[in-house]
Amino acid sequence: MAVYLCLVGLVETFRLRWIIANVIGLGQMMLLITAIVAGFVYARRVGGRTPAATGVSHDAPERVRVMLGGAAVGLLVGAALVVLLVVGSRVALRLMFVNASPTLYSLLTFGYDLGPGSALLLLVEGVCGLVGTLLFLVPSGLRRTVLGGLVAVLILSVFQDLLQLLLQSPGPPQAVRGLLFGVDGPSWSGAALVCVVTWALLAAWTREGDHVRARLAGLPPAGRRGFRAGVLAVGIVALLLIPIAGGPFVAQVMVLVGLYTLMGLGLNLEVGFAGLLDLGFVAFFAIGAYTVALLTSRGEQGIAHWSFWAAVPAAVVVSLLAGVLFGIPVLRVRGDYLAIATLGLGEIVRIMVLSDALRPWLGGSFGILAIPRPVFFGLTLGGPQQLYYLTLVASALVAYIAWRLQDSRLGRAWMAIREDEDVAQAIGIDLVSTKLLSYGLGGAMGGMGGAIFAVMLGSVFPHSFNLQISINVLVLIILGGMGSLWGVVVGALALVGLPELLREFGEYRFLIYGAVLVAMMLYRPEGLVPAAAQKRELHEGTADEAGTGTIAVAAGNVGAAEGRGG
């Protein structure tokens, strides 16, 4: 891994992305973290007999053995880098690996000659391996506190451009900026302050967290409702202040997050609730965008010159009908075959809007231009800061509808179909109407996202609606947690928001993003905020037992709902 980080260019590119200005950069820290993680993993594997509560064995020779092994693992990491240095000094690696540059070699040897630099590199990596072992051996509470402080400093470094942008206002924000950052990046005092404050907060929570949770659990129902209302009010105020505090760039990123949230909520009805895998969901997004474009455009393709507010309901209805029509041909298709069929339907829409046959009406590859901005009581919603509030309101409305649907008779029917269509049909669920409602309502939510997308850009083009959008929406649902409404929001923030905020990392941001996705699928396959059923399936018993229990619960809920309805 250390050699890989060097040869793909991460170490050299981010050597001046200072964690502490003019002391250590993010590129060097990557190599140190590699050895620390290697030492920690080694200690966890061979020292698994240590008490779980403290992470420390009372056998001193055992601790020493584990520590020496961790240092040896760190030396192995350093040895791999020394091999890279030796080979690079004798072979023109740059003919194949363009990042194997003299700058990288100088960075690895700390500016010394090959011999002394390699010895120093081995020493540093060995110490880092030992540090990783010590992190395993110390009590778990202390380990969380120390790691929390270090992670906070890394976050300060990674997001330093964004944080400095947020803290540029005169007054206290600018004073905080001067305290945390120097001319080139985070200062010694700033990193120490962030580390100490994080340590203090984590230590306080470790000491008082159980007491706080117990007090919250012991509140009467009225007190719990008041607490939840207070948290909700704080969250709403924070959401309203984002474009004011973050400026146009952050507002634009949040608009994109909102659009993907709208699509994710729609696709979640199909995939997360009903278990209908859809790889052509971008078709509904495109239908909503083109409907608004045709009804509002002032260009030659405009057919009605409606206002945005009149066109949005039409776009939602057209997308809903399209969802129903798209669902009819695939009613009897299941599993992987359903994914391929929906993929074909999505591609049909993209090819149709791109075709020359429909060019007089849809503009072909030239798209539809001159889409006016929405006007709300005389205020033109033209910039990202104004469109942010429009997206926020639309996302809140769609999320409320999805939340109400989740535990309704229809939502329980969807979940029963997701677990087993045959069982669902046996208890009296109409598969045709239930599936079509899933496609139709999901398509309507995606169409609302497309409507906002059209006015955000002021134009629509066929190339904006490719397969990658459907893949991204599906991935954010899996990442956040299938069937979970909060998971869709968190997945959109992680999948769309973070890569956009880290755009200065260039082409490496998608490499990092891909590595995070792989780690997620290995260590948290249920998602960041999983639904209860998904969590049970992956963590309690076998998947078959959990699935059978979920089918029984869903069937019972649907039966009860049918009984109440009767």
Query: Residue 445: in which H helix or E strand, if any?
Result: helix 431-457
Domain ranges (residues) in the chain: 2-206, 245-475
State residue 540's pLDDT score.
56
CA–CA distance, 317 with 60 (Å, rounded to integer): 71
CA–CA distance, 79 with 87 (Å, rounded to integer): 12
State residue 56's pLDDT score.
45
State residue 443's pLDDT score.
94
CA–CA distance, 493 with 502 (Å, rounded to integer): 12
Mind listing the pLDDT tens digit of every residue in the chain (566 residues)? 999 999 998 898 888 888 888 888 888 999 999 999 999 999 988 876 444 444 444 577 888 889 999 999 999 999 999 999 999 999 889 889 989 999 999 999 988 999 999 999 999 999 999 999 999 988 888 888 888 988 999 888 888 888 887 787 777 888 888 888 888 888 888 889 999 999 888 888 888 888 888 888 888 888 888 888 998 899 899 999 888 888 888 899 999 999 999 999 999 999 989 888 889 999 999 999 999 999 999 888 888 889 999 999 999 999 999 999 988 988 888 878 888 888 888 888 888 888 888 888 888 888 899 899 998 888 888 888 899 999 999 999 999 999 999 889 999 999 999 888 889 999 999 999 999 999 999 999 999 999 999 999 999 998 889 888 999 899 889 888 888 888 999 989 888 888 787 776 777 877 877 888 888 888 888 888 887 776 776 665 544 444 444 444 444 444 444 444 44
Task: Fill in the amino acid letter for 454.
Answer: A
State residue 33's pLDDT score.
93
State residue 499's pLDDT score.
79
Q: Which of 303, 292, 304, 565 is nearest to 455 (CA)?
A: 292
The number of CA neighbours under 13 Å toward the Cβ of 151 is: 9
Task: Fill in the amino acid letter for 486.
Answer: W
Q: Which of 520, 491, 261, 526 is nearest to 398 (CA)?
A: 261
CA–CA distance, 449 with 388 (Å, rounded to integer): 13
Could you say which DSSP state residue 332 is in? Answer: T
**Which CA distances in Å does 251 have to 158, 242, 248, 509?**
19, 7, 5, 20
The neighbour count for residue 304, using CB atoms within 10 Å, is 12
State residue 58's pLDDT score.
53
CA–CA distance, 234 with 241 (Å, rounded to integer): 11
For the chain, report the end-to-end CA distance as a whole number of angstroms: 62
132 neighbors 37 (Cβ within 8 angstroms): yes
Phi, psi of 20 (to 5 degrees): -130, 120
CA angle 473–316–363, rounded 5-degree value: 80
CA–CA distance, 10 with 515 (Å, rounded to integer): 14
3-state secondary structure of 132: helix
DSSP H helical segments within 99-187, as ranges?
102-108, 114-137, 140-158, 160-166, 172-180
Task: Fill in the amino acid letter for 356.
Answer: D
Please tell me the total number of residues recorded for the chain in this structure. 566
Helices (H) and strands (E) in the chain, counts: 25, 4
